[in-house]
Structure 1
Amino acid sequence: MNKFLATSLVALTASAAQAQELKLYNWFEYMPQELLDAFTEETGIAVTMDTYDSNESLLASLKAGKLGAYDIAVPGDYMVKILADEGMLDTFAPEEMPNLGNIETQWLTVPFDEGRKSSVPYQWGSTSFAVNREVFDGDIQDTAIIFDPPEELAGKINVLDTSGELLTLASMHLGIPQCTSDREQLKALNALVTGAKPDWASFGSDVAKDVLTSGDAAAGMIWSGFAAKARGEGAPIEYAFPRQGVIVWMDNLALLKDAPNRDSALAFMNFMLEPENAATLTNYAQYSAGVTGVTEFLDPEVADSPEANPPEGTKTVFVEACPEDIQVMYDAIWTNLKK
C-alpha cells in the first residue's frame, strides 16, 4: 500500500510539474521577454522558446520530428491551413478560450481556420520592400525595385529567404495568379526571379532589418514592423506600397497536435488575447494585433507609423496555400533559384 501511494505521488508530482511548463516555437525577434515574465508571474508556468525564420522552416522542423516537442507555434495564415491539412494541429472548444470574444471581427472568421478552432491572432502586417532614400530618391512604388531595379540599387538588394512571399511578390509583379498551373506563366515566373537574382546581394530573413540599418543593403524585401524598427533605429528608409500591391498576413498562435502541455498552451493563448498584453506585443513588434481594446495601450509612434497605415486604396493579397500537385512546381522554381 505504501509503495502504491509513493508511486502515485511521484506520478502526480510529475504531472503537476509538466503542467507548469510551456514550450513555444516562434519567429525570431518576435516576443518581448517582459511578456513571458508577466505570464509566468501570473500563472506560475515557465516558458521556454525556440525560434525559426520562415513558415517553411517551421513546417520542415515539425515534419522532421519536432511535432510533440512544442505546445504552440506561430504560423502565418496560409501555413495554419497547411499544418491543419497535414494533421499537425489540435483543436480547442470555445469554452476553453474565454477571451475568444476579444478577437476583432474580421479576424474571427477566417478561411485558414474557420471558426478559430486551432489558432488565435498574434500579429498582422504586410510584406513589401524598403529603400534607402539617400541612395535612391526616385519612384519606389513599383515592384520593379526588386525585380528590375534601377542602377543605383542593382547588386545592393536583400530579399527575404521565404519562398511563399518572394514568389508571391514576383507573381504580383507579373500580374499572374498565385498557384497557377499554366506552364507559360510558371516559365515566366522562373525567368523573372532567376533573371533578377544577379541584382540581389543576399537572401536573408533574419538580417532583413540589420542590412538596412547598417547600409549593407540599399533596398530589401521586409516586413512592415521590421521596416518601422529600422527607421526608428535611424535607417534613412521608406517602406513602399507599390502599385501592384503588398502581401498582407496574419501570424497566429496555433495549438500543436500532441502538445506536451496543452493546458499551459491554452492559458498562454488566452493571456495573449488580453488587450494590454496584445498591446505590449504590438509595441515591441510594431505590427497590429487583431484584438479589440488595444489602441489605448499603444505607443503613439507605433499607432501612427506609416508602415502600419497604408495609403487608401492599397492593393493587398494573402499568400495562398497551393494544392500539393501545384506546390511541387513552385518548389522546383525555388530550388532552382537557390542553387
Structure 2
Amino acid sequence: MKKASSRFARLSLAMLMSAPLAHAADLVVSNWDGYMAPETTDNFEKLTGAKVITDIHATNEEILTKVLANGGEGFDVLFVSSPAAEILHKKGLLAEIDPTKVPNLKNLYPEATRLEYDPGNHFSVPYAWGTTGICYRADKVSPAPDSWKQLLNPSDALKGKVTLLSTERWLMAAGFLANGWDVNDSNPAHIKAVRDQLLKARKRILGFDDTTFHAKLVSGETYMAHAFDGWCNYGTAENPDVKFAVPKEGSDLWVDTMVILKKSKNIDNAQAFVNFILTPKNHVWVVENVDYKIPNRVAMDGVDPALLAKFPNLTTTPAELLKMHLLRDVSDATHQAYTAAVRDVVTAP
C-alpha cells in the first residue's frame, strides 16, 4: 500500500469543525470493502471521541435493501453510487448536508457541486468519480481501440480475447453509447436493440468479468476489456502495456457519494465524519491506494506527479468528466427492462 502524502499536515479539530460535536456516540458507516483507509475510523475516534462501527456492503442493491427494509434506521453514513443516492433522496430518507458543519465542501472542484442529480450538494457529497472505457494491451492491439463498436464486435483477431462488464447499467451503457444514445435511455425499442446487439457480441467474446479483467489482460488471456478506469490501472501497475481509452462516442460518468440518513441518531457526528473524509490528507488515500480520481481539488493538487504519469487517466479533468453521460436513477419499469435484457445476454449459451 502506498503511504499517504506528507504534504498534508494533521489538522486540529478546530480546523475541521465549525460547530462543536454532539456528545460522542457510536456512528454506523456502510461502505464497500477496501474503499476507505483502514485507520480512518480510529483517527476519527481519536479526534472526536465518536466510535465508528463500519458495515461492509458488496453492492448498492445490498445496502439499499437493508436501508429500505428499516425505513432508514440503523445507519448514519452510507457510501453509495449516485443513482442509489437519488433513490434514497426521492424516498425522503436522506438528511440535508449542512455546509456549516461540513466546511471542507470548499475543497471540492466547482464541477463537483454542479452534478445534475444534486446541484449544490444538498443531500450527497461526491467521494470518487470516473468513467468506463476500453482497457487493452497496447502491444497486442494496434492501432489503439477508439470505439465501443470494436469492443462489442471484436475483429477476428480479437475473437475470444475480449471481456465485457456484466453489471447491468454499464453493460447497457456500452450498447447505448455504441449507437449514439444516452446511458439512461428508456426507449423500449432502444433497449431491445441493445439486447440483440449484446447477444451477438456474446458469441465473439471470452465472457463477462467485472473484477479480474485486469489480471486477464496482464496474463495475456485477453487483449481488450470493458473496464472501469481505476481498475484498468491495476493492470497497468503490473504491465505498462495495459492502457485505458475512452471511446470516441463518449462514456458514462459514475459518481460514488457519501450520504447521511435522516433517521441517524448522530447527525452532528455524521456531518463531522463526512467533513473528516474531505480533509485532503484523508481523501487523497483513495487516489494513492485505490487508483481512482476524487472530486477533491485540494487533495488532487497534492498527488505525486509520478503517480499521475504512471496512470494517465487520473489526469482526466473535471470539465472532461462532465462532458460524459452522468449515470442517473431510472424508472422502475426501465430498470426492470435493463435487468431482463442483461439477464438474457449474460445467461445466453
TM-score calculated relative to the size of structure 2: 0.80
3-state SS of paired residue (2:203): helix
Q: Partners of 2:221 and 2:66 in 1: how far apart?
A: 30
* Structure 2 CA distance for partners of 1:147 and 1:120, relative to 1, 3 Å: same
* Other-structure match for 1:234: 239
Match of 1:119 among 121, 124, 129: 124
* Structure 2 CA distance for partners of 1:95 and 1:126, relative to 1, 3 Å: same
* 128-137 vs 164-173, greater mean Cα deviation: 128-137
Query: Contact (CA 8 Å) 2:137, 2:243: kept in 1 or not?
Result: yes
What displacement does 1:53 show? 4.3
Match of 2:114 among 89, 109, 122: 109
Q: Partners of 2:183 and 2:244 in 1: how far apart?
A: 24
3-state SS of paired residue (1:32): coil
Is 1:263 matched up with 2:250?
Answer: no
3-state SS of paired residue (2:248): coil
Query: Contact (CA 8 Å) 2:183, 2:252: kept in 1 or not?
Result: no
Q: How does 1:23-62 map to 2 (within 5 A)?
A: 23-62=28-67
Report the residue type matching 1:325 in the other structure. A
Q: Partners of 1:313 and 1:118 in 2: how far apart?
A: 24
Is 1:82 matched up with 2:87?
Answer: yes
Aligned length: 323
Query: Contact (CA 8 Å) 1:155, 1:201: kept in 2 or not?
Result: yes
* 322-331 vs 112-121, greater mean Cα deviation: 322-331
* Other-structure match for 1:338: 346
Q: Partners of 1:46 and 1:52 in 2: how far apart?
A: 20
Q: Partners of 2:128 and 2:262 in 1: how far apart?
A: 22
What displacement does 1:143 show? 1.0
Report the residue type matching 1:105 in the other structure. P
Q: Partners of 1:162 and 1:230 in 2: how far apart?
A: 20
What CA deviation, in whole Å up to 9, does each residue of 1:61-111 have, x standing for no partner? 544559433322222223321221233322233223222222221112322
Is 1:300 matched up with 2:283?
Answer: no
Query: Contact (CA 8 Å) 1:35, 1:281: kept in 2 or not?
Result: no
Report the residue type matching 1:326 in the other structure. T
Q: How does 1:69-218 map to 2 (within 5 A)?
A: 69-218=74-223
Query: Contact (CA 8 Å) 2:294, 2:300: kept in 1 or not?
Result: no
3-state SS of paired residue (1:227): helix
Q: Partners of 2:329 and 2:149 in 1: how far apart?
A: 25
Q: How does 1:238-249 map to 2 (within 5 A)?
A: 238-249=243-254
Q: Partners of 1:337 and 1:297 in 2: how far apart?
A: 43
Match of 2:328 among 276, 298, 320: 320
What displacement does 1:44 show? 3.5
3-state SS of paired residue (2:94): coil
3-state SS of paired residue (1:33): coil
Is 1:273 matched up with 2:307?
Answer: no
* Other-structure match for 2:15: none
* 99-108 vs 256-265, greater mean Cα deviation: 256-265
Q: Partners of 1:161 and 1:267 in 2: how far apart?
A: 36
* Structure 2 CA distance for partners of 1:146 and 1:49, relative to 1, 3 Å: farther
Q: Partners of 2:28 and 2:211 in 1: how far apart?
A: 22
* Structure 2 CA distance for partners of 1:310 and 1:290, relative to 1, 3 Å: closer
Identity %, equivalent residues: 24
Q: Specify every segment of 5 or more residues in structure 2 that has no aligned partner in the other structure, as ranges.
A: 1-21
Q: Partners of 1:156 and 1:144 in 2: how far apart?
A: 15
3-state SS of paired residue (1:23): strand
What displacement does 1:57 show? 4.3
Please, what is the CA RMSD of the aligned residues?
2.9
* Structure 2 CA distance for partners of 1:52 and 1:214, relative to 1, 3 Å: farther
What displacement does 1:152 show? 3.5
* 199-208 vs 266-275, greater mean Cα deviation: 199-208
Q: Partners of 1:39 and 1:117 in 2: how far apart?
A: 23
What displacement does 1:112 show? 1.3
Report the residue type matching 2:342 in the other structure. W
Report the residue type matching 2:75 in the other structure. Y
3-state SS of paired residue (1:95): coil
Query: Contact (CA 8 Å) 1:126, 1:248: kept in 2 or not?
Result: yes
What displacement does 1:167 show? 0.8
What displacement does 1:303 show? 3.4
Report the residue type matching 2:122 in the other structure. K
What CA deviation, in whole Å up to 9, does each residue of 1:171-198 have, x standing for no partner? 0001223444444322211101122123
TM-score calculated relative to the size of structure 1: 0.83
Q: Specify every segment of 5 or more residues in structure 1 that has no aligned partner in the other structure, as ranges.
A: 1-14
Q: Partners of 2:196 and 2:39 in 1: how far apart?
A: 46
